[in-house]
A and B are shown apart, each in its own frame.
Chain A
Amino acid sequence: MAEDLVLDTAIRDWVLIPLTVVMILIGILRYFVSKLMRSQQNPDAKVVKEGQVVVRARNLRAGANFIPAKSFRARRAYFSNEENGLLHVPKGQGQNPQAQMFSDPNMAMDMMKKNLSMIIPQTLTFAWVNFFFSGFVAAKIPFPLTQRFRSMLQNGIDLSTVDVSYVSSRSWYFLNLFGLRGLFSLILGEENAMDDTQRMMQMSGFGMDPTKNLSAEKDGLDIIQHEWALPKFEQRAEAVLKKLVS
Protein backbone atom coordinates (compact mmCIF):
# COMPACT_ATOMS: atom_id res chain seq x y z
CA MET A 1 0.00 0.00 0.00
CA ALA A 2 1.43 3.28 -1.07
CA GLU A 3 -0.64 5.71 0.93
CA ASP A 4 -1.27 5.56 4.60
CA LEU A 5 -4.65 4.69 5.87
CA VAL A 6 -6.19 7.55 7.78
CA LEU A 7 -7.93 6.45 10.94
CA ASP A 8 -11.08 8.22 11.98
CA THR A 9 -10.76 10.02 15.31
CA ALA A 10 -14.10 8.52 16.25
CA ILE A 11 -12.39 5.13 16.23
CA ARG A 12 -9.98 6.40 18.84
CA ASP A 13 -12.78 7.82 20.94
CA TRP A 14 -15.22 4.97 20.62
CA VAL A 15 -13.05 1.88 20.16
CA LEU A 16 -9.51 2.31 21.37
CA ILE A 17 -10.11 4.20 24.59
CA PRO A 18 -13.29 2.35 25.70
CA LEU A 19 -11.62 -0.97 25.09
CA THR A 20 -8.66 -0.05 27.26
CA VAL A 21 -10.78 1.42 30.02
CA VAL A 22 -13.05 -1.61 30.06
CA MET A 23 -10.11 -3.97 30.26
CA ILE A 24 -8.68 -2.10 33.23
CA LEU A 25 -12.02 -1.97 35.00
CA ILE A 26 -12.60 -5.66 34.44
CA GLY A 27 -9.16 -6.45 35.78
CA ILE A 28 -9.85 -4.50 38.95
CA LEU A 29 -13.27 -6.05 39.32
CA ARG A 30 -11.81 -9.50 38.91
CA TYR A 31 -9.29 -8.79 41.61
CA PHE A 32 -11.96 -7.87 44.09
CA VAL A 33 -14.23 -10.73 43.15
CA SER A 34 -11.47 -13.27 43.54
CA LYS A 35 -10.58 -11.68 46.85
CA LEU A 36 -14.16 -12.13 47.97
CA MET A 37 -14.37 -15.70 46.85
CA ARG A 38 -11.06 -16.81 48.21
CA SER A 39 -11.86 -19.12 51.05
CA GLN A 40 -9.43 -19.32 53.87
CA GLN A 41 -8.14 -22.81 53.75
CA ASN A 42 -7.11 -24.53 56.88
CA PRO A 43 -3.91 -26.46 56.60
CA ASP A 44 -4.29 -30.19 56.79
CA ALA A 45 -3.21 -31.67 60.11
CA LYS A 46 -1.15 -34.36 58.46
CA VAL A 47 0.67 -31.94 56.21
CA VAL A 48 1.58 -29.64 59.09
CA LYS A 49 2.82 -32.51 61.16
CA GLU A 50 4.83 -34.02 58.35
CA GLY A 51 6.52 -30.71 57.72
CA GLN A 52 7.51 -30.48 61.36
CA VAL A 53 8.71 -34.08 61.44
CA VAL A 54 10.93 -33.41 58.46
CA VAL A 55 12.41 -30.33 60.10
CA ARG A 56 13.13 -32.22 63.30
CA ALA A 57 14.64 -35.17 61.46
CA ARG A 58 16.82 -32.80 59.50
CA ASN A 59 17.99 -31.25 62.76
CA LEU A 60 18.81 -34.69 64.04
CA ARG A 61 20.83 -35.45 60.93
CA ALA A 62 22.71 -32.17 61.13
CA GLY A 63 23.40 -32.22 64.84
CA ALA A 64 23.75 -35.95 65.35
CA ASN A 65 27.33 -35.68 66.50
CA PHE A 66 26.47 -33.38 69.33
CA ILE A 67 24.43 -35.84 71.36
CA PRO A 68 25.55 -39.10 72.96
CA ALA A 69 25.35 -42.25 70.91
CA LYS A 70 22.61 -43.74 73.05
CA SER A 71 20.34 -40.75 72.62
CA PHE A 72 21.01 -40.70 68.91
CA ARG A 73 20.12 -44.34 68.47
CA ALA A 74 16.92 -43.92 70.42
CA ARG A 75 15.91 -41.02 68.25
CA ARG A 76 16.78 -42.76 65.05
CA ALA A 77 14.66 -45.71 66.04
CA TYR A 78 11.85 -43.34 66.91
CA PHE A 79 11.98 -41.76 63.49
CA SER A 80 12.65 -44.63 61.18
CA ASN A 81 11.61 -47.95 62.64
CA GLU A 82 9.57 -50.15 60.37
CA GLU A 83 6.50 -50.40 62.54
CA ASN A 84 5.42 -46.97 63.62
CA GLY A 85 8.36 -44.68 63.00
CA LEU A 86 7.40 -41.14 62.21
CA LEU A 87 9.20 -41.12 58.90
CA HIS A 88 8.12 -44.56 57.87
CA VAL A 89 5.54 -44.50 55.10
CA PRO A 90 3.61 -47.73 54.86
CA LYS A 91 3.49 -49.19 51.40
CA GLY A 92 0.46 -48.29 49.36
CA GLN A 93 -0.34 -45.35 51.54
CA GLY A 94 1.64 -43.01 49.36
CA GLN A 95 -1.46 -41.55 47.89
CA ASN A 96 -1.60 -40.58 44.32
CA PRO A 97 -1.77 -36.79 44.51
CA GLN A 98 -4.12 -36.66 41.58
CA ALA A 99 -6.56 -38.93 43.33
CA GLN A 100 -6.13 -36.97 46.51
CA MET A 101 -6.98 -33.80 44.69
CA PHE A 102 -10.23 -35.20 43.43
CA SER A 103 -11.14 -36.89 46.66
CA ASP A 104 -10.97 -33.58 48.44
CA PRO A 105 -13.92 -31.56 47.21
CA ASN A 106 -12.65 -28.42 48.86
CA MET A 107 -9.53 -28.39 46.79
CA ALA A 108 -11.42 -28.97 43.57
CA MET A 109 -13.86 -26.28 44.56
CA ASP A 110 -11.08 -23.83 45.21
CA MET A 111 -9.50 -24.45 41.88
CA MET A 112 -12.81 -24.12 40.14
CA LYS A 113 -13.47 -20.79 41.79
CA LYS A 114 -10.09 -19.52 40.71
CA ASN A 115 -10.59 -20.72 37.19
CA LEU A 116 -14.09 -19.35 36.96
CA SER A 117 -13.03 -15.93 38.06
CA MET A 118 -10.44 -16.02 35.33
CA ILE A 119 -12.32 -17.61 32.46
CA ILE A 120 -15.76 -16.06 32.66
CA PRO A 121 -14.77 -12.42 32.33
CA GLN A 122 -12.30 -13.33 29.63
CA THR A 123 -14.89 -15.10 27.48
CA LEU A 124 -17.38 -12.33 28.04
CA THR A 125 -15.04 -9.54 27.07
CA PHE A 126 -13.79 -11.49 24.11
CA ALA A 127 -17.32 -12.03 22.88
CA TRP A 128 -18.08 -8.37 23.43
CA VAL A 129 -15.05 -7.24 21.48
CA ASN A 130 -15.78 -9.69 18.72
CA PHE A 131 -19.37 -8.60 18.44
CA PHE A 132 -18.94 -4.86 18.42
CA PHE A 133 -15.48 -4.18 17.17
CA SER A 134 -14.56 -6.97 14.81
CA GLY A 135 -12.74 -5.79 11.76
CA PHE A 136 -11.78 -2.37 13.10
CA VAL A 137 -8.32 -1.07 12.61
CA ALA A 138 -8.03 0.58 15.94
CA ALA A 139 -4.55 2.04 16.11
CA LYS A 140 -1.28 2.48 14.36
CA ILE A 141 2.01 1.95 16.02
CA PRO A 142 4.60 4.58 15.10
CA PHE A 143 7.27 2.21 13.77
CA PRO A 144 7.37 -0.36 10.99
CA LEU A 145 7.35 -4.06 11.73
CA THR A 146 8.04 -7.20 9.73
CA GLN A 147 5.42 -9.54 8.36
CA ARG A 148 5.83 -11.94 11.20
CA PHE A 149 4.01 -9.63 13.53
CA ARG A 150 0.91 -9.72 11.36
CA SER A 151 -0.75 -12.53 13.27
CA MET A 152 -0.05 -10.76 16.53
CA LEU A 153 -1.20 -7.28 15.57
CA GLN A 154 -3.86 -7.90 12.96
CA ASN A 155 -5.87 -10.70 14.40
CA GLY A 156 -9.27 -10.62 12.78
CA ILE A 157 -8.29 -8.81 9.60
CA ASP A 158 -7.43 -11.14 6.79
CA LEU A 159 -5.85 -8.66 4.43
CA SER A 160 -2.26 -9.20 3.47
CA THR A 161 -1.98 -5.74 1.93
CA VAL A 162 -2.45 -3.69 5.08
CA ASP A 163 0.76 -2.44 6.59
CA VAL A 164 1.80 -4.40 9.68
CA SER A 165 1.99 -1.37 11.92
CA TYR A 166 -1.79 -1.11 12.01
CA VAL A 167 -3.39 -2.83 15.00
CA SER A 168 -6.77 -4.45 14.77
CA SER A 169 -9.23 -4.10 17.62
CA ARG A 170 -9.13 -7.74 18.54
CA SER A 171 -5.35 -7.65 18.74
CA TRP A 172 -5.59 -4.54 20.84
CA TYR A 173 -7.76 -6.55 23.21
CA PHE A 174 -5.16 -9.28 23.46
CA LEU A 175 -2.38 -6.79 23.96
CA ASN A 176 -4.32 -5.26 26.80
CA LEU A 177 -5.16 -8.62 28.30
CA PHE A 178 -1.54 -9.62 28.64
CA GLY A 179 0.11 -6.26 28.89
CA LEU A 180 -1.79 -4.70 31.74
CA ARG A 181 -0.26 -6.86 34.46
CA GLY A 182 2.35 -4.28 35.29
CA LEU A 183 -0.29 -1.62 35.60
CA PHE A 184 -2.38 -3.81 37.88
CA SER A 185 0.48 -4.51 40.20
CA LEU A 186 0.90 -0.73 40.40
CA ILE A 187 -2.77 -0.09 41.14
CA LEU A 188 -3.62 -3.07 43.31
CA GLY A 189 -0.37 -3.62 45.12
CA GLU A 190 2.27 -6.23 44.57
CA GLU A 191 0.46 -9.33 45.64
CA ASN A 192 -2.61 -9.00 43.48
CA ALA A 193 -4.29 -12.13 42.32
CA MET A 194 -3.91 -11.22 38.70
CA ASP A 195 -0.73 -13.02 38.07
CA ASP A 196 -1.80 -15.79 35.76
CA THR A 197 1.64 -17.20 35.20
CA GLN A 198 2.13 -17.70 38.89
CA ARG A 199 -1.14 -19.53 39.12
CA MET A 200 -0.03 -21.86 36.37
CA MET A 201 3.07 -22.63 38.38
CA GLN A 202 0.99 -23.43 41.41
CA MET A 203 -1.16 -25.79 39.48
CA SER A 204 1.78 -27.73 38.17
CA GLY A 205 3.17 -27.82 41.71
CA PHE A 206 0.27 -30.04 42.70
CA GLY A 207 2.05 -33.07 41.35
CA MET A 208 4.48 -33.03 44.27
CA ASP A 209 4.31 -35.95 46.63
CA PRO A 210 4.82 -35.05 50.30
CA THR A 211 5.53 -38.62 51.30
CA LYS A 212 8.63 -38.61 49.13
CA ASN A 213 10.07 -36.00 51.41
CA LEU A 214 9.58 -38.30 54.37
CA SER A 215 11.17 -41.34 52.83
CA ALA A 216 14.09 -39.29 51.54
CA GLU A 217 14.67 -38.01 55.04
CA LYS A 218 14.42 -41.54 56.38
CA ASP A 219 17.06 -42.79 53.99
CA GLY A 220 19.27 -39.91 55.00
CA LEU A 221 18.89 -40.80 58.65
CA ASP A 222 19.53 -44.47 58.03
CA ILE A 223 22.86 -43.98 56.38
CA ILE A 224 24.52 -41.48 58.67
CA GLN A 225 27.28 -42.67 60.93
CA HIS A 226 27.15 -41.41 64.44
CA GLU A 227 30.45 -40.08 65.61
CA TRP A 228 30.20 -38.29 68.88
CA ALA A 229 31.95 -34.96 68.63
CA LEU A 230 32.12 -34.25 72.32
CA PRO A 231 35.29 -36.17 73.32
CA LYS A 232 37.21 -33.87 71.04
CA PHE A 233 35.80 -30.92 72.86
CA GLU A 234 37.71 -31.79 76.02
CA GLN A 235 41.00 -31.22 74.28
CA ARG A 236 39.72 -28.10 72.64
CA ALA A 237 38.49 -26.78 75.96
CA GLU A 238 41.92 -27.47 77.39
CA ALA A 239 43.48 -25.45 74.63
CA VAL A 240 41.10 -22.60 75.24
CA LEU A 241 41.76 -22.61 78.97
CA LYS A 242 45.51 -22.81 78.49
CA LYS A 243 45.35 -19.70 76.41
CA LEU A 244 43.15 -18.05 78.99
CA VAL A 245 45.30 -18.87 81.99
CA SER A 246 48.66 -18.07 80.49
Chain B
Amino acid sequence: MPTSSRGASGWCLLVFSLILILLGLILMAGGLWLASLGGSWYYLIAGLGLMVSGGLMARDSLTGAWLYFVVLVGTVIWALWEVGLSPWELLPRVFGYIVLGIVVAVLLPTLKRRQAMSGGKAS
Protein backbone atom coordinates (compact mmCIF):
# COMPACT_ATOMS: atom_id res chain seq x y z
CA MET B 1 0.00 0.00 0.00
CA PRO B 2 1.21 3.46 -0.82
CA THR B 3 2.33 5.41 2.14
CA SER B 4 1.21 8.81 0.95
CA SER B 5 -1.61 10.33 2.98
CA ARG B 6 -5.14 9.76 1.76
CA GLY B 7 -7.76 12.40 1.23
CA ALA B 8 -11.46 11.62 0.87
CA SER B 9 -11.01 10.75 -2.78
CA GLY B 10 -8.12 8.50 -1.89
CA TRP B 11 -10.25 6.60 0.55
CA CYS B 12 -13.03 6.30 -2.02
CA LEU B 13 -10.53 4.81 -4.41
CA LEU B 14 -9.37 2.32 -1.86
CA VAL B 15 -12.86 1.26 -0.84
CA PHE B 16 -13.92 0.93 -4.44
CA SER B 17 -10.82 -1.10 -5.22
CA LEU B 18 -11.60 -3.45 -2.36
CA ILE B 19 -15.16 -3.83 -3.63
CA LEU B 20 -13.80 -4.75 -7.05
CA ILE B 21 -11.53 -7.33 -5.45
CA LEU B 22 -14.45 -8.77 -3.53
CA LEU B 23 -16.70 -8.91 -6.60
CA GLY B 24 -13.85 -10.46 -8.52
CA LEU B 25 -13.35 -13.12 -5.88
CA ILE B 26 -17.07 -13.94 -5.83
CA LEU B 27 -17.19 -14.22 -9.61
CA MET B 28 -14.00 -16.28 -9.65
CA ALA B 29 -15.28 -18.69 -7.05
CA GLY B 30 -18.68 -19.07 -8.70
CA GLY B 31 -17.11 -19.04 -12.13
CA LEU B 32 -14.74 -21.84 -11.16
CA TRP B 33 -17.69 -23.85 -9.90
CA LEU B 34 -19.66 -23.15 -13.08
CA ALA B 35 -16.74 -24.04 -15.34
CA SER B 36 -16.20 -27.25 -13.40
CA LEU B 37 -19.84 -28.14 -14.10
CA GLY B 38 -19.22 -27.71 -17.80
CA GLY B 39 -20.61 -24.19 -17.98
CA SER B 40 -19.34 -20.88 -19.24
CA TRP B 41 -15.74 -19.81 -18.50
CA TYR B 42 -16.69 -16.17 -18.81
CA TYR B 43 -17.35 -15.58 -15.10
CA LEU B 44 -14.03 -17.07 -14.01
CA ILE B 45 -12.13 -14.90 -16.48
CA ALA B 46 -14.11 -11.75 -15.73
CA GLY B 47 -13.73 -12.37 -12.00
CA LEU B 48 -9.98 -12.70 -12.39
CA GLY B 49 -9.98 -9.46 -14.38
CA LEU B 50 -11.93 -7.61 -11.70
CA MET B 51 -9.77 -8.91 -8.91
CA VAL B 52 -6.51 -7.94 -10.59
CA SER B 53 -7.99 -4.61 -11.64
CA GLY B 54 -9.07 -3.88 -8.07
CA GLY B 55 -5.70 -4.97 -6.73
CA LEU B 56 -3.83 -2.64 -9.06
CA MET B 57 -6.14 0.26 -8.33
CA ALA B 58 -5.69 -0.29 -4.61
CA ARG B 59 -1.99 0.16 -5.26
CA ASP B 60 -2.68 3.41 -7.11
CA SER B 61 -1.90 1.91 -10.48
CA LEU B 62 -3.62 3.42 -13.47
CA THR B 63 -3.18 0.08 -15.20
CA GLY B 64 -5.93 -1.25 -12.94
CA ALA B 65 -8.40 1.21 -14.40
CA TRP B 66 -7.43 0.34 -17.95
CA LEU B 67 -7.77 -3.32 -17.10
CA TYR B 68 -11.25 -2.62 -15.80
CA PHE B 69 -12.22 -1.10 -19.12
CA VAL B 70 -10.79 -4.11 -20.91
CA VAL B 71 -13.05 -6.33 -18.79
CA LEU B 72 -16.00 -4.03 -19.54
CA VAL B 73 -15.45 -4.07 -23.29
CA GLY B 74 -14.83 -7.80 -23.24
CA THR B 75 -18.03 -8.31 -21.28
CA VAL B 76 -20.08 -6.29 -23.75
CA ILE B 77 -18.68 -8.29 -26.64
CA TRP B 78 -19.35 -11.55 -24.79
CA ALA B 79 -22.88 -10.45 -23.89
CA LEU B 80 -23.70 -9.50 -27.47
CA TRP B 81 -22.30 -12.80 -28.64
CA GLU B 82 -24.38 -14.70 -26.12
CA VAL B 83 -27.75 -12.95 -26.33
CA GLY B 84 -27.54 -10.43 -29.17
CA LEU B 85 -29.44 -7.18 -28.75
CA SER B 86 -32.07 -8.53 -26.35
CA PRO B 87 -32.36 -5.68 -23.82
CA TRP B 88 -33.76 -7.69 -20.93
CA GLU B 89 -30.99 -10.25 -21.29
CA LEU B 90 -28.23 -7.67 -21.70
CA LEU B 91 -29.35 -6.07 -18.47
CA PRO B 92 -27.80 -8.45 -15.91
CA ARG B 93 -24.76 -8.97 -18.11
CA VAL B 94 -23.62 -5.41 -18.72
CA PHE B 95 -25.55 -2.95 -16.61
CA GLY B 96 -23.60 -3.47 -13.42
CA TYR B 97 -20.30 -3.22 -15.28
CA ILE B 98 -21.36 0.06 -16.82
CA VAL B 99 -22.25 1.49 -13.42
CA LEU B 100 -18.90 0.38 -12.03
CA GLY B 101 -17.22 1.75 -15.16
CA ILE B 102 -18.66 5.16 -14.47
CA VAL B 103 -17.21 5.04 -10.97
CA VAL B 104 -13.83 4.07 -12.39
CA ALA B 105 -14.02 7.00 -14.79
CA VAL B 106 -14.87 9.35 -11.92
CA LEU B 107 -11.92 8.01 -9.95
CA LEU B 108 -9.46 8.36 -12.84
CA PRO B 109 -8.16 11.83 -11.84
CA THR B 110 -7.58 10.63 -8.30
CA LEU B 111 -5.83 7.58 -9.58
CA LYS B 112 -3.61 9.61 -11.91
CA ARG B 113 -2.70 11.99 -9.14
CA ARG B 114 -1.89 9.25 -6.69
CA GLN B 115 0.10 7.29 -9.23
CA ALA B 116 2.18 10.38 -9.92
CA MET B 117 2.61 11.03 -6.20
CA SER B 118 3.79 7.55 -5.51
CA GLY B 119 6.30 7.94 -8.29
CA GLY B 120 4.98 4.96 -10.07
CA LYS B 121 6.52 2.60 -7.63
CA ALA B 122 3.33 0.62 -7.41
CA SER B 123 3.22 -0.01 -11.11
* A and B: interacting chains: no
Binding site for B on A (CB under 8 A): none
